[in-house]
Structure 1
Amino acid sequence: MAFQELLNQVGSLGRFQILQISFVLFLVGLVVPHITMENFTAAIPNHRCWAPILDNDTASDNGSRILSQDDLLRISIPLDSNLRLDKCRRFAQPQWHLLHLNGTFSNETEPDTEPCVDGWVYDRSNFLSTIVTEWDLVCESQALNSVAKFSFMIGLFIGAIICGHLSDRWMSESARWLIVTNKPQKGLKELRKVAHMNGMKNSGNTLTMEVVEASMKNELEAAKRKSSPRDLFHTPILRNRICVLSFMRYLFTVSIFGLSLHLQHLSTNIILLRFLSSALGILISVIGHFVLNHMGRRITQLVLMSLRGIFMLTAVFVPQEMQTLRIIVVTLAAALSSLCMCVSNLHINELLPTTLRATGMGVIGMFGNSGLFLAPLFMLLATYSANLPWIFYGGFSILYGFSVFLLPETKNQPLPDSIHDVGNDWKDSRQAKEEDSIIKVTRF
């Protein structure tokens, strides 16, 4: 629209924009590592019950010192349904006869087992210490691990609300927003600041209130009607968008953070997995810019989110022995997450009018970001089936991909400044597009 002409005069991409982006990236860089660290600080290493004949250095009965480690494990720890060492139970008494039965119990009565009453022994080859090993958050207490992550995500949710208000002290307000909310003087001041920082001094001097009023005449006329949060639900189309976007944001948040918080459940080599997914994520984000330019918002999100969900579902059904394949599909799923988040945020911003964009994002965030603290709680379903949480995480990602067709495409479409630009129905929107021959379109 006309604001693009003003922006071109002060520099649409210069020092000012670069500094703003750099500051945002710095803030994001402070938060995101804390989410990633959950894979290390809350990792669940391999573990088994502490057994006296195995782990008591003073044990010497029955000549146990001359037996191998495998033999001692065999007589001390039962096998689970997958024929692996049980992580939560041990034999009440050493089962010496198992040394001669080739792993079977013959016709004898099944030996008595008991919980890990003396604690656990953890594999510390990858992690010397985590909250799991410090507080024994395994077996009956495994749910507390999800509760700890739930507490962390609650803090993140509250922090996002507080920091949203604090950010107004550090970051320049949008000149476009100031103008369309009937604050043209402040908008002019911001435009001059941008021109000065971008080295466009001549443009800054020629920018006057008359120039702003002439360029933004239609927007200033629309700004005379003061907007309120109730306007988000006043028109049918905008109300529908807010409801759909809130639902989609919930699906998105649960799926994204469900994977980010629990990567250690999908691979034993979490360090390699994080390195590969981060490196690939940078490459995919660069390529995604060109894909977004040609495919549009809806198709791009459908493809990305569906592939991401399919990769997650594939990972959980791949046998543990096929670690290489598991790492590949999990890496692809994790690498797609950052690009999915960028496209999702871009689409949301292009669907909401400038006058209500901040309020709309807040409403969508309040409803949708409930997934922040619900994402860890889905892992409690692992007590019924280890794959069940991942079916939800992957399924939500695929459902999000198809839900995007409930929203309009915004590629090369008008960027709405007011509720009037959103329109009350599609016919009005198409007619307005035909009548307005000079119009700002989205950049990509």
Structure 2
Amino acid sequence: MRDYDEITAFLGDWGPHQKLLFFLLSSCTISNSFYGLNIIFVGDVPEHHCLIPENLNLSEAWRNKTIPLQGAEQQRSKCSRYRLDVIMNLSETFPDPDFLNMSEIEQEPCLDGWEYSKEQYISTIVSEWDLVCNNNWKEPLATSVFFIGMLVGSFSSGILSDRFGRKIVLFGAIALQTIFSMLIVFSPNLEIFCLIMFFRGIGGLANYVAAFILGSELLADSMRIVYSTFGVGVFYAIGYMFLPFVAYFIREWRTLMMTLTLCCLLYIPLWWFIPESPRWLLSKGRVEEAESVIRLMAKKNGVTPPPKIFSELELEYIKNNEVKSVPFAQLLKTCNIRAITIINVLIWMIISMGYYGLSLNVPDLHGDDYLNCFLFGAAEIPANIATWFLLKKFSRRFSISGALFLGGSVLLFIQLIPSDLLVLATVLVLIGRLGASCAFFMVYIYTAELYPTTLRNTGLGVSAMASRIGSILSPYIFLLDAYQENLSLILIATLTIFAAIAVLFLPETFNTPLPDTIDQMKKVKWFKCTGRTHSN
């Protein structure tokens, strides 16, 4: 019995139609980066201080003194002011406030709201809905809700894709993402904004997963690693770099969101160029449709297909073959597979937390926000090149562990950088992010190689859900810096190094055949499982 790749070998690996599909499917992931990360600019916190009402009869000198100075650099307080009733009484008695000891005056919160700097932004959701001071936890909430949507998308997209097809889920997700991105422009308050962010998250990940699966199934086996790195990865980086370029020229958050959304209308014509996956059609017994797609690909490539693509025996097999679904409980059934699953869940969660935590922290880095964001996006390209090279040449375990150890170590080293070398600190954060990116790209393929055929989709699905939990937590990590400077980076670095060590306990899969049954799975390293060791 021939497999699908052998049956369709006459198409070639890299014909004109495969090249077109490679480009079109890769381009579908461009929007995922700027949809997922536009909160960097949409939700940035402008410089602000307590609003002093204009109707108060205060001189300019007294208005400048009404906001307390704090910290070693004597910056204006963001969340408090001197009591206005006391200030009004003192201003009537003392025309010049420079001779008074202002520190003895009682302070009060910003009872009249805040005044926001317009130097960088015309508006963000923070300045529009006052998400500062006691409400500063609400802006990360919007990002976490988006990632909760991605969690739902990671769970539902595979199910929907298996039932209704890769193509319809891909374009349905793009439509969902585009519609809700348009609606978010009209959000009257944060609650509606968060609700729409949830649905955008569902569409965003479903789009990415569907494009990834469809490309993997349409392209030949020899091109799949190239597609997952140079294809999906590089085009994702292009979208990442496109975001700060647009945000630099559009400083009002609603206009920025609408502009990014309109770019996705360019995907509509792709419906007529991207076919359904013949593999999926065959799995559903829709042989005629699958054969029609294969013949169309042959025509586009300028090759002549055989008169009968499938033999009678293969048609009978396709008709009668049924893939049984495997319950989640199988991931915990034996000691070995349970250990692999637990380690995988921890690694995926930590990698995602570090990747998105560092990405969302761009506004807190030294230097220009737009340039830093562009550099973070550009770093995805060498990360993809490094991933492709490492996957081709070296051990999976040591490659992922090395990338994580590099990322964690440089983040810890930041604590030793003097305060006058902030540029160096930013470079180290960029290197740390590069390590997280490499690990993120490699762990997808490594996890698929760890699990047997009967559990591969389930294992990847559970790992992806763990990744989403890490991303949900990531927006809140940098709130820890309010208690100690760089505490967030210390936490990310420590967890990343822990993950680098944990990877070494997993079995090696480089240059080994994929396991088909649980019995064929390799064993975890350095500790012995007891009890039941096999199941089918």
TM-score (ref. length: structure 1): 0.75
- Check conservation: 2:408, 2:432, Cα contact below 8 A: yes
- Separation of aligned partners in 1, 2:435 and 2:489: 16
- Separation of aligned partners in 2, 1:227 and 1:151: 30
- Separation of aligned partners in 1, 2:524 and 2:116: 62
Does residue 407 of the first structure (1) align with residue 503 of the second (2)?
no
Q: Choose the corresponding residue for 2:470, options 362, 371, 378.
A: 371
| Matching residue of 1:147 | 141
* Deviation for aligned residue 1:132: 0.8
- Separation of aligned partners in 1, 2:325 and 2:435: 37
Task: Give the unaligned 5+ runs of structure 2.
Answer: 168-213, 222-276, 526-536
| Matching residue of 2:78 | 87
- Separation of aligned partners in 2, 1:224 and 1:41: 48
| Letter matched to residue 165 of structure 2 | R
Distance change in 2, residues 1:17/1:424 (3 Å): farther
* Deviation for aligned residue 1:118: 2.2
Q: Choose the corresponding residue for 1:390, options 486, 489, 492.
A: 489
Distance change in 2, residues 1:353/1:194 (3 Å): farther
| Matching residue of 2:263 | none
- Check conservation: 1:46, 1:122, Cα contact below 8 A: yes
Secondary structure at 1:369's aligned position in 2?
helix
Task: Give the unaligned 5+ runs of structure 1.
Answer: 427-444
Distance change in 2, residues 1:23/1:283 (3 Å): same
* Deviation for aligned residue 1:352: 1.9
| Letter matched to residue 44 of structure 1 | V
* Deviation for aligned residue 1:344: 1.3
| Matching residue of 1:77 | 68
| Matching residue of 2:166 | 170
| Matching residue of 1:133 | 127
- Separation of aligned partners in 2, 1:266 and 1:257: 15
| Matching residue of 1:118 | 112
In angstroms, what is the RMSD of aligned CA positions?
A: 4.1
| Matching residue of 1:228 | 326
Distance change in 2, residues 1:83/1:192 (3 Å): same
Give the aligned length: 403
Secondary structure at 2:49's aligned position in 1?
strand
* Deviation for aligned residue 1:275: 1.2
Secondary structure at 1:271's aligned position in 2?
helix
- Separation of aligned partners in 2, 1:191 and 1:234: 40
* Deviation for aligned residue 1:129: 0.7
Distance change in 2, residues 1:60/1:364 (3 Å): closer
Q: Choose the corresponding residue for 2:297, options 181, 185, 197.
A: 197
Secondary structure at 2:76's aligned position in 1?
coil
* Deviation for aligned residue 1:193: 4.6
- Separation of aligned partners in 2, 1:256 and 1:43: 18
- Separation of aligned partners in 1, 2:410 and 2:509: 28
Distance change in 2, residues 1:204/1:345 (3 Å): farther
Distance change in 2, residues 1:280/1:246 (3 Å): closer
Q: Choose the corresponding residue for 1:351, options 450, 463, 479.
A: 450
Distance change in 2, residues 1:409/1:290 (3 Å): same
| Letter matched to residue 36 of structure 2 | I
* Deviation for aligned residue 1:357: 1.6
Secondary structure at 2:157's aligned position in 1?
helix
Does residue 239 of the first structure (1) align with residue 338 of the second (2)?
yes
- Check conservation: 1:266, 1:315, Cα contact below 8 A: no
| Letter matched to residue 84 of structure 1 | Q
* Deviation for aligned residue 1:347: 1.0
* Deviation for aligned residue 1:298: 1.8
| Matching residue of 1:429 | none
TM-score (ref. length: structure 2): 0.63
- Separation of aligned partners in 2, 1:212 and 1:374: 48
- Separation of aligned partners in 2, 1:23 and 1:160: 22
| Letter matched to residue 114 of structure 1 | E
- Check conservation: 1:35, 1:260, Cα contact below 8 A: no
Does residue 158 of the first structure (1) align with residue 159 of the second (2)?
no
Distance change in 2, residues 1:194/1:403 (3 Å): farther
